């Protein structure tokens, strides 16, 4: 009889979160992380571009619909393309990732992996009760990130 509990299981690779990238992103010496929500202001992207230029860095963006994502985002393809176009027009190396199930962890992990110089995030006004019940990705990133975090309205 087959022992199902100790038999090796096939492992499948996790799907890539990368949805767009410039040709030279893997050679970038420095990184600025951009948390880009679909309803973000233009000031958010402008600050990320300014930060990347100041640090002579590439931009690694996480594109998400809200900071309480419960499943990977597969929508907003046109917004991702628009973001990629804006970063390319700014003449920056970039990578755009779709949001994973835990946006805050994804942003923190990217910042640690690439030793980010800066994280640029949008702010979202919430009541204290909603923050208590749902938590706040922004608050978690501010508390756990090892690099400066810029919050933009």
pLDDT of the chain, 153 residues: tens digit per residue: 555 566 666 676 777 899 999 999 999 999 999 999 888 889 999 999 999 999 999 999 999 875 444 555 455 678 899 999 999 999 999 999 999 889 999 999 999 999 999 999 998 777 766 665 556 888 899 999 999 999 998
Within a domain: residue 51? Answer: yes
Angle at alpha carbon of residue 36, lines to 64 and 136, rounded to 5°: 70
Taking alpha carbons only, the member of 141, 114, 89 closest to residue 97 is 114
What gap in Å lies between CA 144 and CA 150, rounded to an integer? 14
Give the domain CATH number at 50. 3.40.50.620
Predicted TM-score (pTM) of the model is 0.82
Domain that holds residue 87: 18-152
* Structural domains of the chain, count: 1
Within a domain: residue 107? Answer: yes
Within a domain: residue 28? Answer: yes
Which residues lie across from 138 on neighbouring strands? Answer: none
């Amino acid at each position: 009889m087959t022992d199902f509990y100790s038999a090796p299981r096939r492992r499948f690779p996790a799907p890539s979160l990368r949805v767009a990238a410039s040709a030279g992103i893997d050679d970038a010496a420095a990184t600025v992380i951009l948390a880009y929500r679909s309803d973000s202001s233009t000031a958010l992207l402008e600050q990320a571009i300014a930060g990347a230029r100041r640090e002579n860095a590439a931009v690694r963006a996480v594109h998400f619909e809200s900071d309480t994502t419960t499943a990977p985002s597969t929508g907003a393809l046109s917004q991702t393309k628009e973001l990629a176009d804006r970063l390319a027009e700014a003449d920056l190396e970039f990578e755009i990732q779709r949001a994973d199930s835990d946006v805050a962890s994804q942003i923190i992990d990217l910042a640690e992996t690439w030793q980010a110089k800066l994280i640029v995030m949008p702010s979202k006004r919430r009541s204290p009760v909603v923050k208590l019940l749902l938590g706040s990705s922004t608050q978690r990133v501010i508390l756990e990130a090892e690099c400066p975090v810029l919050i933009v309205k």
